[in-house]
A and B are shown apart, each in its own frame.
Chain A
Amino acid sequence: MDRLLFGDNQFFGINHMSEEKARAQAMQFRDTAAILAVLDAAYDEGLRTFMCTTHERIGEICDHVRANPARYQGFRFYPCMPYAHKYANAATDHGMVGAVMHFMPDEGVLKTAMRGGMSLARKDVEGLAKILVDMEMKMFRGLETPVVFLQNVVVDLLLGMGMKESFRVFHDYVGERYGAEAGFITMNLPMLLDALDEVGIANPIVCSNFNKIGFRVSGGVEGYLAALRARPVRAIAMSVLASGAIPPREALEWVAAQPEIDAIVFGASSRRNIRNTREIVDGLYAAA
């Protein structure tokens, strides 16, 4: 896993600090060409991993990368699924069962069974989860996806409900079907690590908020670091700038001083900011 991963929040008008900033970014990246220009800049700055949602516009990025293999040699995607908004809206419109049906292929006995309202056996539920994973993975066919993540909205929902076995199902399936390692994004890291231990997922890949001010670090930074020290984990830090509340150098110095953290995912909208981040990180880790 690379030390520095490139994220995609900035491309889709997601900013946790300001709606005005989010809107400005949505305007800047209205055209996919604008996204590609920034991705090219990231590649040219030496970044090779794009950690992205399964937003439908990522499909266009995938098409472009597939069409230009020479330009993107060694470029990897870390898909993060699902793009939750479409499911949330469908759940509002069609109810929980209806939402799942909505995204299933039309053929198949499973959909017929669900339409009939009959109960589902364990293998049916697992089969259903696999179909949903396949639907999300479609856009990445033929591309390198060595790690496939489950988004925090789903991870934390399953975690809260206590559906820990589902992490195992996801982990095994992306390994089997895509030759990929499973990753888990969470807002509740210590609790997730306990759950992954319980279902026998060793040395997991996890991604969680890590920042100097403890923003959205549920239960506090010390608890997070202690949970990482308690077992082997490959940990990716996100939201290291706390949505811009901490200046970049100060934020990255703090992360680099935590040996428990293996990688950093960050977003940027310009080559200047990408280079700035890369140079700070290179310097900090070279010195260490």
Chain B
Amino acid sequence: MVKIGVAGLGKMGLSHFAIVNAHPEAQVSVCDPSKMVLDVVGRYTGVPVFRDYEAMLASGIEAVIVATPSRLHGPMVRAALEKGVHVFCEKPFCLDWRESEALAALAAEKGLVNQVGYHYRYAGPFRELKRLVEAGAIGQVTHVLAEAYGPVVLKRQGSTWRTERTEGGGCLYDYAAHPINLVNWLFGRPERAAGTVMTSIFSAQIDDEVYSTFTYEGGPSVQLSVSWSDESYRKMSTRITLTGTGGRLVADRQDLQAYLRQPPAGLAGYSEGWNVKYTTELTEGVRFNLRGEEYSAQIDDFVEAARDGRQRTPNGFAEAAETDRTIGLMLADRAGESPEALPSPRPAPPRRGWFGLKAAR
């Protein structure tokens, strides 16, 4: 049995709560500042509920899932690590990549399990894409097109934490972080970001579309193209297209298409020309399925890693810090500054009482 707390019962928090609560080896408690939400959850599920995050940390939990507004990730993750608690944090990790790197170092030093919710790394077609690249299926990769589109903001709207950059909102953090994270998984952190465009379409204060070009020394060029204001997509759609000396690979949540000029010896199941693999054959079943196998698989990995005290995910804090640092490159490029000179987002006091009545750190 692993005692796990879930902090934040918003959209992602509820989903994580349901998935982890269905795990036979997890004993779950929850924390949220809304009394009404806690009342309902406490009464109907019977799990222990907390309004104060520190009280939950002090209640003997061994691991925590942090699913609060992004700006709060840093202080909440640090508080957990300092108490020796394993941490799963929703994406994006931290708004300032220096904080991400510091937390990655702290988790490593304390030997604690650390994970960030970049669930696409658990989706069959993207896993297969990585396997093919590493097997040299398309030779040297020369260009990457990393895309995500979906219908989140389609009209002018009121303000929530997702509509403020200092809170970690905007298309950049909400959507673009995913394809950027997949590019990091395949090729690491780029040296440069150039031509970064972040445009508001409907939102008053933040970006609704994001475009940028990444370059790697001796590696591929990357074109990033992301919009969360595209109604022609029914829901979020993320796609990675790789062009190489030996062919082309296209992956999304549903399938993987591979054009191979000459499949490398030993790569079973692929032949010359076009190959299509569907999610039906690329996806392993899960124990409990709420909204897709990848969401369950990442939580199961976390529960089992916390139980064993051993890191097992491809999504550690260090990997998420690469994504935060890539985002930092883009913000610096847009501002015309060097990434090191760019100030971190303005710290604002938490509006809601995550740390009880105590002042923000």
Contact = CB atoms under 8 A, between A and B. Distances in A.
Interface string B141-173: 000000000011000011010100000000000
A26 B4 CA distance: 42
B70 to A, nearest CB: 13
B285 A92 contact: no
A160 interface: yes
A165 B10 contact: no
Given A119-B36, A160-B21, A95 B10 contact: yes
Interface in B21-48: 21-22, 34-37, 39-41, 43-47
B129 to A, nearest CB: 15
For chain A, which range describes its interface: under 10, 10 to 19, 20 to 34, or 35 or more residues? 35 or more
12 contacts: A93-B157, A93-B160, A95-B10, A117-B34, A117-B36, A159-B18, A161-B45, A218-B285, A218-B289, A220-B285, A243-B279, A245-B278
B170 to A, nearest CB: 13
B17 interface: yes
A118 B157 CA distance: 26
A210 to B, nearest CB: 14
B255 A18 contact: yes
A219 to B, nearest CB: 6
Contact of A119 (B19, B39, B252, B279): B39
Nearest to B160: A93
Which are the 5 A-B pairs with shortest beta-carbon distances? A160-B18, A187-B289, A245-B280, A160-B22, A162-B45
Contacts, number: 131
B305 to A, nearest CB: 20
**Of residues B11, B15, B19, B46, which shows the largest number of chain A Cβ atoms within 10 Å of its Cβ?**
B11
Interface in B239-287: 252-255, 278-281, 283, 285-287
A243 B280 contact: yes
Given A13-B234, A114-B36, A243-B280, A160 B288 contact: yes
A95 B10 CA distance: 6
Interface stretch (A39-47, A83-91, A139-147, A272-280): A83-91
Given A88-B11, A93-B160, A119-B36, A160 B280 contact: no
Contacts of A157: 14-15, 18, 290
B22 A245 contact: no
B237 interface: yes
Contacts of A12: 234
B37 A97 contact: yes
B9 interface: yes
B192 interface: no
A157 B18 CA distance: 6
A157 B253 CA distance: 22
Contacts of A24: none
Interface string A198-240: 0000000000000001111111100000000000000000000
B289 A156 contact: yes
B68 to A, nearest CB: 12
Contacts of B293: 216
A17 interface: yes
A28 interface: no
B110 interface: no
A226 to B, nearest CB: 16
Interface string B292-309: 010000000000000000
A166 B44 contact: yes
Contact of B279 (A17, A91, A96): A17
B279 A161 contact: no
Contacts of A95: 10, 160
A94 interface: yes
Contact of B22 (A117, A119, A191, A217): A191
Nearest to B18: A160
B235 interface: yes
B279 A188 contact: no
B36 A214 contact: no
A256 interface: no
A119 B151 CA distance: 33
A17 B36 contact: no
A36 interface: no
B11 A19 contact: no
Contacts of B15: 157
B351 interface: no
A255 interface: no
B167 to A, nearest CB: 13
A161 B254 contact: no
Given A119-B35, A160-B18, A19 B40 contact: no
A104 interface: no
Contacts of A96: 9-11, 14, 34, 37
B285 A163 contact: no
A156 B34 CA distance: 23
B152 A18 contact: no
Given A13-B234, A93-B157, A97-B37, A163 B44 contact: yes
B281 A245 contact: yes
B291 interface: yes
A97 B152 contact: no
**Of residues B18, B152, B286, which shows the largest number of chain A Cβ atoms within 10 Å of its Cβ?**
B18
A161 B289 contact: no
A212 to B, nearest CB: 11
A161 B280 contact: no
B18 A14 contact: no
A235 B15 CA distance: 26
A242 interface: yes
B278 A243 contact: yes
A242 B279 CA distance: 10
B21 A161 contact: yes
A156 B22 CA distance: 10
A163 B45 contact: yes
Contacts of B289: 156, 187-188, 216, 218
